[in-house]
């Protein structure tokens, strides 16, 4: 097996294109020479038709297109970053505004609670004052009623006592004294 591999390698190295053709190399009968001449003519036609320049122009145009696309992508990226920064700024402003609204609402709620507490205390104080006034009025009414009853009882008792121990001369004297007393108080 080893022998076959070495023969194959030797045959491969020995078979060059120059040795594959018959006859001298610079003859039209040699296919390698003809192919080489045809290749050189083909390259010459390509150079004469300015194909390498056209290819280079196409490659340059493609490079310019890629460059412009990269510039456009860079511009779009910068715009996107600016929009993102603007959005983040607006988001922070909205968050700050929301925080201020919440703080204001809390303050207003606290003020309203304090006001409600003060109003409740005032209402309770008014009701207590009204109840105390009613109690005082009722107390005065009760005192007046007791006094009137006491006066009525006293007058009745005095009438009874006077009626039993009073004669006409004494009654006339009391009437005269009462008239004088009333006259003195009126003038």
Rounded Cα distance between 134 and 34, Å, is 139
Is it the case that residue 17 has pLDDT exceeding 80?
Answer: no
Look at residues 186, 185, 183 and name the one whose alpha carbon lies nearest to residue 175: 183
60, two tokens: 């340059």
Is it the case that residue 182 has pLDDT exceeding 60?
Answer: yes
Out of 7-11, 50-54, 181-185, give the one with best mean pLDDT: 50-54
179, two tokens: 């008239």
Rounded Cα distance between 143 and 136, Å, is 10
Mean of the per-residue pLDDT values for the chain? 83
106, two tokens: 């809390």
Give the pTM. Answer: 0.38
Rounded Cα distance between 110 and 103, Å, is 11
The predicted model gives 156-180 an average pLDDT of 73
pLDDT tens digits for 85-113? 999 999 999 999 999 999 999 999 999 99
Residue 38: per-residue pLDDT: 94
Rounded Cα distance between 160 and 175, Å, is 17
Q: Element (H or E) spanning 187, and its range?
A: none
Place of tokens 């022998």: 3
Is it the case that residue 2 has pLDDT exceeding 60?
Answer: no
Place of tokens 């290819």: 55
Minimum mean pLDDT range among 54-63, 77-86, 115-124, 150-159: 150-159
Residue 15: per-residue pLDDT: 47
pLDDT band per the 50, 70, 90 thresholds, residue 57: very high
Sorted by sequence, the CB contacts under 8 Å of residue 24 that are 6+ apart come out as 30
pLDDT tens digits for 140-160? 888 888 777 777 776 776 677
143, two tokens: 């005192």
């Amino acid at each position: 097996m080893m022998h076959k591999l070495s023969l194959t390698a030797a045959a491969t190295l020995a078979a060059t294109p120059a040795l594959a053709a018959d006859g001298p190399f610079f003859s039209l009968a040699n296919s390698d020479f003809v192919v080489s001449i045809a290749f050189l003519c083909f390259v010459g036609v390509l150079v004469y038709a300015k194909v390498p320049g056209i290819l280079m122009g196409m490659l340059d145009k493609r490079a310019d297109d890629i460059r412009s696309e990269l510039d456009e992508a860079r511009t779009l990226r910068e715009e996107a970053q600016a929009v993102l920064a603007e959005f983040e700024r607006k988001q922070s402003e909205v968050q700050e505004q929301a925080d201020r609204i919440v703080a204001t609402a809390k303050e207003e709620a606290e003020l309203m609670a304090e006001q409600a507490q003060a109003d409740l205390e005032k209402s309770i104080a008014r009701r207590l004052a009204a109840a105390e006034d009613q109690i005082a009025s009722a107390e005065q009414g009760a005192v007046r009623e007791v006094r009137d009853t006491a006066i009525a009882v006293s007058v009745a008792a005095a009438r009874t006592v006077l009626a039993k121990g009073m004669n006409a001369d004494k009654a006339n004297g009391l009437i005269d004294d009462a008239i004088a007393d009333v006259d003195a108080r009126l003038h």
